[in-house]
Amino acid sequence: MIIKNRATLLSHGNIDGRRCVLDILEAGIATADPYENTRKLLKLEGDIFSVGNESSDAGIQVYDLKKIKHIYVVGGGKAVHGQAKAFEDVLGDRITEGHINIKKGENVELTRIGVSLAGHPLPDKDSVEGGKKIYEILLKAGEGDLVFWLRSGGGTSLLSLPVEGVTLEDLVQVSRILYFGGGATMPEINVIRNLISVLGLKHAKYVHGAVLFEFLVDEIPGGMMGHDYMRSPGNVDPYQRAREICDKYGVWDKIPQSVRSLILKADPKHLPPTKAELTMRPFHNYKVIDPHTMLAAAINKARELGLNATILATSLNDVPAKSTGEILAEIAREIELFGRPLLPPCVFICGGEVVVAVGNETGIGGRNQELVLSAATRIAGSKNIVIGSADSDGTDGPTNIAGGIVDGLTMERVREAGFDINQELARHNTSPVLKALGDDIIIGNTGTNLRDLRVVYVGK
């Protein structure tokens, strides 16, 4: 089972509703396996190596490995270990060299491809050291070689390798000031982080002559790549966009001087290649999985359970966790009271990634935990509503908790446990509350990253 403390979660509250929510969360997260989904795209018969399948946008590429000089496998992200394991299992010692950066705490099962256990959500010296090894391998590739770049969410931090003039501490401060302190969205922060890092979205710039493959576990459905992504919205120049983001959150004077100088200088050498530039070289992009994979499995499970089901939002992103939880609870109340927009018994499902701006608070929690406890305040007394939310990577914020589950009895139990829920939410101190209630969802590292899965159940 994906959820390790399922028995505890089903020992109290609305047990039937909780079972439905947990079954749906399990189905969604289990389907988002990067190993299995990468393995489906690789086939070796003798010396003939095929990449892709009939449903791949990039089609099927076929190579006679007797004619290939070297095969390199590199990259970084929360889902990359599973991807790399698929390559090792198919190609074995035909891989010339490789290196990946993955999150600290993962179990390493690779023997051919090197691994750095790196920092996330804040980069560390191991991110830098691993990034150097990856950069050096990219520069080796040439005519007659195949390069496989594996990438997933979390890669921007895990692959941090500062450009000249910028330090590791500068990179760390950008995240601390904008994300944790200012409440900026991850795409906004990545505009800046990708400018000040050697790798980021720039890997294709270093590969000359070799055929480059990108295998992406994409946390943003329909997400854009490279320079085009960094220009969004409105096709604004990335350097201009970076300055606008800093001004939006009032942090221009707070970010490191080295970063401000780089933004103002606007040197094009720090930009990733555009999509147009990528088409001018041998480049193939394969999307391994994205949030649609997880959401489709979740809604299929809901329908198997005989529930009316819909996906409310594929990417409910970059909005405060507290208000999101409250709104989802109010929608559930509308269904419970008036049977609209769905007739119970039903569920509605959301993906995406909400935010928590902690400011100077020092509470322990995460966005999914804050979302469900905020929702609990609006569904108190309900006999029909259960809400669960979990991070697909298995860890919510800087905790070992994936998320939480609440129902109409949660607020009564919160009071009995001696917590002031408004005070704990203001402090962003949600983990101790959920742990005390036995409502913290424990999954552990899943080796994937498709953002979050939220399930709202309304019985009758």
Express each pLDDT in 400-419 by its tens digit.
999 999 999 999 999 999 99
Structural domain span for residue 354? 6-31+292-458
For helices 257-265 and 186-195, angle between their N-to-C axes, nearest 10 degrees: 80
Of 139-143, 226-230, 445-449, minimum mean pLDDT range: 226-230
Q: pLDDT tens-digit profile of 337-367? A: 999 999 999 999 999 999 898 888 889 999 9
Closest by CA position to 330, among listed 287, 379, 282? 379
Q: pLDDT tens-digit profile of 36-52? A: 999 999 999 999 999 99
Do residue 100 and residue 183 come from a single domain?
A: yes
Is residue 407 helix, strand or coil? strand
Is residue 97 helix, strand or coil? strand
CATH at 166: 3.40.50.10180
Q: Is the peptide bond before 432 cis (omega within 30 degrees of 0)?
A: no
Torsion of CA 36, 40, 46, 51, to 10 degrees: -130
Q: pLDDT tens-digit profile of 275-297? A: 777 777 889 999 998 899 999 99
- Separation between Cα atoms, residue 96 and residue 69, nearest integer Å: 9
Overall number of domains in the chain? 2
Is residue 349 helix, strand or coil? strand
Of 14-23, 65-74, 187-196, minimum mean pLDDT range: 187-196
Give the pLDDT score at 229: 53
Do residue 316 and residue 449 come from a single domain?
A: yes
Answer positive or negative: Cα dihedral of 445, 449, 452, 453. negative
Q: pLDDT tens-digit profile of 103-150? A: 998 889 999 999 999 998 899 999 999 999 999 999 999 999 999 999
Mean pLDDT of 162-167: 96
42-to-132, 211, 448 alpha-carbon distances in Å: 28, 16, 19
Give the pLDDT score at 420: 97
Mean pLDDT of 84-93: 98
Element (H, E) at 20: helix 15-31
Give the pLDDT score at 246: 96
As a three-state string, the secondary structure of 161-227 is CECCCCCHHHHHHHHHHHHHHCCCCHHHHHHHHHHCECCCCCHHHHCCCCEEEEEEECCCCCCCCHH
**160 falls in which pLDDT band (50, 70, 90)?**
very high
Closest by CA position to 264, among listed 277, 278, 286, 247? 247
Residues in the chain: 460
Mean pLDDT of 290-306: 95
Give the pLDDT score at 234: 60
Q: Which of 289, 320, 344 is the last residue of a domain?
A: 289
**Amino acid in the structure at residue 188:** E
**Amino acid in the structure at residue 277:** E
Give the pLDDT score at 225: 47
Q: Which of 289, 311, 346 is the last residue of a domain?
A: 289
Closest by CA position to 72, among listed 90, 51, 89, 94? 94
Q: Which of 289, 308, 329 is the last residue of a domain?
A: 289
Long-range pairs of 96-100 with CB within 8 A, sequence gap ≥ 24? 96/70, 96/71, 96/72, 96/145, 97/70, 97/72, 97/137, 97/140, 98/72, 98/73, 98/74, 98/137, 99/74, 99/130, 99/133, 99/134, 99/137, 100/73, 100/74, 100/75, 100/76, 100/130, 100/134, 100/150
Do residue 233 and residue 347 come from a single domain?
A: no
Do residue 406 and residue 310 come from a single domain?
A: yes
Element (H, E) at 391: strand 385-391
Do residue 56 and residue 190 come from a single domain?
A: yes
Answer positive or negative: Cα dihedral of 102, 105, 108, 114. positive
Do residue 144 and residue 265 come from a single domain?
A: yes
Give the pLDDT score at 226: 47
- Separation between Cα atoms, residue 305 and residue 347, nearest integer Å: 10
Q: Is residue 272, in this structure, part of any structural domain at all?
A: yes
- Separation between Cα atoms, residue 204 and residue 368, nearest integer Å: 35
In sequence order, the 6+-apart residues with CB closer than 8 A to the CB of 67 are 144
CATH at 327: 3.40.1480.10
Do residue 206 and residue 262 come from a single domain?
A: yes
User: And the tokens for 51?
Assistant: 């990449």
321, 374 contact by CB (below 8 A): yes
**Amino acid in the structure at residue 49:** F
**Amino acid in the structure at residue 338:** F
Closest by CA position to 32, among listed 86, 79, 85, 80? 79
Give the pLDDT score at 224: 45
* Phi, psi (rounded to 5 degrees) for 226: 55, -140
Give the pLDDT score at 355: 87
Mean pLDDT of 69-97: 97
DSSP 104-162: TTPPP--SSSEEEEE-SSS--HHHHHHHHHHHHHHHH--TTEEEEEEEETTHHHHT--B
> What's the whole-number average pLDDT of the chain?
93
Do residue 306 and residue 418 come from a single domain?
A: yes
Do residue 388 and residue 253 come from a single domain?
A: no
Mean pLDDT of 251-257: 96
Do residue 162 and residue 238 come from a single domain?
A: yes
Mean pLDDT of 384-406: 95
Q: Is residue 1, in this structure, part of any structural domain at all?
A: no
- Separation between Cα atoms, residue 367 and residue 124, nearest integer Å: 23
Is residue 404 helix, strand or coil? strand
Closest by CA position to 404, among listed 3, 2, 79, 1? 3
Do residue 367 and residue 238 come from a single domain?
A: no
**Amino acid in the structure at residue 166:** V
**In DSSP terms, which residues pair with 64 in a beta bridge?**
48
pLDDT of 457 > 50? The answer is: yes
Q: How many CA atoms lie within 13 A of 196 on its CB side?
A: 29
Do residue 256 and residue 301 come from a single domain?
A: no
User: pTM, whole model, 2 decimals?
Assistant: 0.83
